[in-house]
Amino acid sequence: MILISIFLSCVSFAETQGELKTSARDIKAGDVVNVQLEVWPASVESVERIREYSGNRFLDHFYLSKILKISPSENNTEYIIADLVLVPLSKPEAFSILRLGDENVNVKINFSLEEIVVPKDKPLNVWEARITPNYFLYGVGFFSFLLILAGLYLKFKPKQKVIMQREIIDWKDLKSRTDFERKFFELKEVTDQLDNQDVKLFKNIVEQRLYIRDWDENVIEDLKKISERMANGIH
């Protein structure tokens, strides 16, 4: 009877332990690493308490980014496996303590990383930013992209119609050689596709006489008639 009691006591007080492992290699501080945490003897309910560490420091040397799954082993319901996503913050020790409720679990860490130490007081959101989408930056980038598109559209959109409307309004003010020459250089900005017969005639007449000292009065009258037709929309 005494031996049985001793045996039962040993079983009931069997120390829960754990092991953290990964297949990843060449791990550096700040990397995003998929790991497995194995805890035994334990229950799924007790291991579920690690969710309290999600988004915070975990096992002193890691940031717990995500909990993928917590489930018992197929062969032993007291052997619990948790699939996690961690970010190493500093070089871990061989063992670390994991607190699950009122229980402290001694966890063996069977991998290491390069000696790149991140101070424990460094804000965890620095590391979180590496593994969590920064929607604010995405929004700023998208808005900037829209502004660039709008600028390109304003720069290259067809302007012929606006130019022609502006030029038609000015036709009625053309009275002298100076006016006709100014109008000619304005029309140089308008594409040939917008040139009707009167505009082409106007440009040809002025261009042939740009460097002639004196213009014949008949030329002035012809240009006035063209300008009048254009001002009245008759062309």
Residues 42 and 80 reside in one and the same domain: yes
Per the CB < 8 A criterion, the answer to whether 87 and 61 are in contact is no
Confidence (pLDDT) at 167: 46
- 98: which residues sit within 8 A by CB, 6+ positions away? 18, 39, 50, 59, 104, 105, 106, 107
Range of the domain at 68: 13-137
Q: What does the pLDDT look like over 74-113, one tens digit per residue?
A: 999 999 999 999 999 888 889 999 999 889 999 999 887 7
165 falls within a domain? yes
Check residue 79 and give its pLDDT. 94
Out of 137, 170, 189, a domain closes at 137
- pLDDT recorded at residue 33: 93
List of the chain residues with pLDDT < 50: 1-12, 116-118, 122-132, 160-169, 193
Tell whether 44 and 122 lie within a shared domain. yes
pLDDT of residue 126: 42
Residues 73 and 17 in one domain: yes
User: What per-residue confidence (pLDDT) applies to 95?
Assistant: 93
Residue 80, CA distances (Å) to 10, 17, 70, 77, 174 in order: 21, 11, 7, 7, 93
